[in-house]
Amino acid sequence: MNELIDDFLAELLLARGRSARTIDAYRRNLHQLRDFAADDDLTVQHALAPNQLRNFIAHLRQNSYSPASIHQNFARLRPAATSLREVNPDHAPDSQRLHVRYRTERKVLR
């Protein structure tokens, strides 16, 4: 999984011209997912399956992440899954299954 993460981060830097801070944020989030998946001996495809993403979200909640942080973390997984699908379709999650919605609470302005 480390090689896939490194390849994706290199693509962000070289092909998409993302900043070092953006790449660092992606790295942190992808490493969190990698560590979560490693605890259950999951492959990349299984780690990005909707039921596992729900478990990952629950894991982040248990570790006191704010709803906004969880939303950002989850949003960074989508481009990684898309990149994986383009580079290695055999190990990529099914694009139909990656649409797990996570809603944050909205603040009421007065």
Identify the residue whose tokens are 């649409």: 99
Tens digits of residue pLDDT in 12-49: 888 888 888 989 998 998 888 888 888 777 776 677 77
The 10 Å Cβ neighbour count of residue 42 is 18
Label residues 58-84 b or e (16+ Cβ within 10 Å = b).
Answer: ebbeeeebeeeebeebbebbeebbebb
Q: Is the pLDDT of residue 9 over 80?
A: yes
Q: How far is it between the farthest Cα atoms of the chain?
A: 51
Tens digits of residue pLDDT in 71-93: 888 888 878 777 776 766 665 55
- Cβ-in-10-Å burial (0-12, 13-18, 19+) of 25 comes to middle
Tens digits of residue pLDDT in 54-72: 888 889 989 988 888 888 8
Q: What is the pLDDT of residue 44?
A: 67
Of the pLDDT bands very low, low, confident and very high (cuts 50, 70, 90), residue 110 is low
